[in-house]
Structures are given as C-alpha cells and as structure tokens.
Structure 1
Amino acid sequence: MIYWELFISFVKVGAFSFGGGYAALPLIQEEIVDNHQWLTIQEFTDLITISQMTPGPIALNSATFVGNQIAGIPGGLVATIGAVFPSVIIVTILAMIYMKYRNLDSLQYVLKALRPVVVALIATAGLSILITSFWGDQVIGISTVKLTAVAIFAICLTMLYKTKLDPVLIMLFAGILNVVAGMASSLVG
C-alpha cells in the first residue's frame, strides 16, 4: 500500500509541476508534508537543500529521498518512477503536437501566457522556504525571527551577486556558517 501511495503522490508531482524543479516545490510540499505527513516542514526544507546540492532535478531527488525514507530502496525506486512517468508520456505527446503545429501563432501565445504562472509558482516556493528558514514553526514576527539565518542569508546573497563563486560552494559555506553559529551559541548558552 505504501508503494502505491508513493507512486501516486509523485505521479501527481510529475504531472502537475510545470516550469521545472522550483515550480514543483509547492506540489511536493503539499503531498509529502501536508497530505501524508511523511516529513515535517523543517525536514522538507532540509530536503530541498540536499536536493539542490545533489546532481539531478529537484523533483526527482526529492522523490528518491522521500521514497527511501518511507520504504527503503524499493520505495525510492517507486517514487522516482512515479515522478518520471507523467513526464515521459506528456513530453512524447507534446513533442509530436509541437512538431506538427509549431508555426501556429496561437501556440506561441499560449506558451507566452504560461510564463507568469511559472514565475508565480517559483516565487511561492521561495517564500515558503524563506519563511521556514527565518521563523521555523513559530508565529511570524520581529521577535521570533532567527537572526543567524537572516545574517547567513544576507551574506550568501551578497556573495552570489558580488562574486563569481559556484552556488554549490556558497551553499557549502552557508552550511559551515550555520554549524559554526550553532557551536558558538551552544558555548555561550
């Protein structure tokens, strides 16, 4: 039964995650955190970090990780197949249609109309991760903000814009900063 639930959950993610990995984040969160409670929101945030650091698309990395956490290696395989299955079918059909009708103006208008929707999905996912990082499960407010997380975010954002460093190195740096900050606060507290 758990294999079927994993498969169906990630078929939904694979079928409705238009716009790439970041656009899929709200759908992944709804399935694994909200609907099934397979992970907490904090574990989901950690999952996104790990999924970005490992090679491959976020949705597939998430499927493999969640499936493995829930039902071992077979669960990881089932969830990953579920995430890929709709894409294989949809891309094959769309490629055939696109090759036949690619010169139609109406098709080009439809593709242009989808772009703002994708941007909105990415923004929603980014805000969700930002809120979880800065406040966790607490009520959002100035007094409950995690100042260390805000500082690390500001430092890393500045590094992204001011240097040509690889984003993976900046994520590694952020992890090191967080460990050092955690060790310093445990020594002080």
Structure 2
Amino acid sequence: MQWKIFLAFFRVGIFGYGGGPASIPLVQKEVVEHYGWMSAEEFGDTLAIANTLPGPIVTKLAGYIGYSRGGVLGALNGATAIVAPTALLMILFFSILSQYRDSSWVNGLANGVLPVVTVLMGVLTWGFIKKSGSDLGWGKTILFIIGAAVVLGVFGVHPAIIIAVLLIAALMQKDAAKREEDASA
C-alpha cells in the first residue's frame, strides 16, 4: 500500500506544474479514478475541508489521503512524494531560468501555462457544479453559485470562511434531519 501511495502522489508531484490548483484534478484522478480510494463526493468533502486549513492544498490532500490509506507512515509518504519532485525541479529550473530570464522563450513558456491551468480548473469546477446540481437540485446550486460570487467579489470574504459556514450549515441540517427522524420513529 505504501508503494501505491508514493506512486500516486509522486506522479501528481511530477505532472502538477502550476501549483496546488493545477494539481487538484490530478490528485482527484489518482485517488478517485485510478486507485478508487475515495468516491468523488468524499474527495469533494476532503477538498473543501483542506481548503479551510492553512498551507499548500496538495500537501494537505496527500497527507490526509496517505494517512487514511496507510496511517502515519502513509501521511509522511504521501507528503514527501508530492513535495520532493517539485522541490528538486524548482532548484533545477530556477538555476537554468536565472541564466536565461530575459529570453523571449522563457516568457512564452510562463505565459503558455496559464491557459492550461485555467482549463484544468474549469473542468474541476464544472464537475463540482454537476455533482451539486444532481445532489441539491439546479435551482439551489445556481443560487449558491451566485451567492458565493457576490460574497467573494462584492464583500471580499475569504473563500475559507464561506466553506466553513456552508460546512457548519450542512452539519446543522443533517443534525436537524436526524432529530426529526428520531422523533418520528
């Protein structure tokens, strides 16, 4: 199991150029589709909780998922596997790019990555929207999207606060439904 944890997060560490947001779809692919360690819903919940905590998102995901699959050693294994390739490649790339920082091809390389990351994030977002639409209904989903956009854009509230409030509301709703169920039984 430890070898699988290492491979899953090492691949993400190697191919996840662009930082955490670009790597999230790769983590989802490994964890949900390739190894089947989590359902898409569990991954979404894990991602939401990880977003509320400080620190790099993919490291938190690797640590948590590694822990859930392989205990403390799995957490260390996952976190190391996801960080090591990036750290080594950064040292290598920065030493090379610093020599050629004024070249047009270096600027073109940096600008070319942005559209790819945008598409990856769009695909991940659309997946979450479709899942919410099927679970909550499209009316509520659209209402939540508009509400979140207003709270983020107009009022400048940090996304972690919105996620925390929605998690608390969901837990309260679940608790109320359970009390209702117990009262009717």
Q: TM-score range by the shorter chain?
A: 0.7 to 0.9
Which residue among 156, 159, 174 is the counterpart of 2:148?
Answer: 156
The residue identity in structure 2 corresponding to 1:110 is L
Residues 1:6 and 2:9 are matched in the alignment: no
Quote how far apart the aligned CAs of 1:94 are: 0.3
Measure, in 1, the Cα distance between the counterparts of 2:134 and 2:56.
27
| Residue range with higher mean Cα deviation, 78-87 or 12-21 | 12-21
Residues 156 and 184 of structure 1: CA distance in aligned 2, closer, same or farther (over 3 Å): farther
Residues 1:169 and 2:161 are matched in the alignment: yes
Judge conservation of contact 1:148–1:181 (CA < 8 Å) in 2: no
Quote how far apart the aligned CAs of 1:126 are: 1.4
Structure 2: 5+ residue stretches without partners: none
SS at match of 1:100: coil
Task: Report the counterpart of residue 63 of structure 2 in structure 1.
Answer: 64
Structure 1: 5+ residue stretches without partners: 137-143
State the number of aligned residues: 181
Quote how far apart the aligned CAs of 1:18 are: 1.6
Quote how far apart the aligned CAs of 1:147 are: 4.9
Quote how far apart the aligned CAs of 1:114 are: 1.8
- Over the matched positions of the two proteins, sequence identity in percent amounts to 24
Residues 109 and 156 of structure 1: CA distance in aligned 2, closer, same or farther (over 3 Å): closer
Task: Report the counterpart of residue 97 of structure 1 in structure 2.
Answer: 96
Quote how far apart the aligned CAs of 1:168 are: 1.9
Partner deviation per Cα, 1:85-141 (whole Å, 9 max, x = no partner): 1101110110111111111112212221221111111111211222223325xxxxx
Measure, in 2, the Cα distance between the counterparts of 1:48 and 1:67.
14
Structure 1 length as normaliser, TM-score? 0.86
Quote how far apart the aligned CAs of 1:169 are: 1.8
SS at match of 2:37: coil
Measure, in 2, the Cα distance between the counterparts of 1:126 and 1:115.
16
Following superposition of structure 1 onto structure 2, how do residues 1-189 of structure 1 map, counting pairs within 5 Å? 2-136=1-135, 145=137, 147-183=139-175, 187=180
Structure 2 length as normaliser, TM-score? 0.87
| Residue range with higher mean Cα deviation, 78-87 or 160-169 | 160-169
Measure, in 1, the Cα distance between the counterparts of 2:169 and 2:23.
28
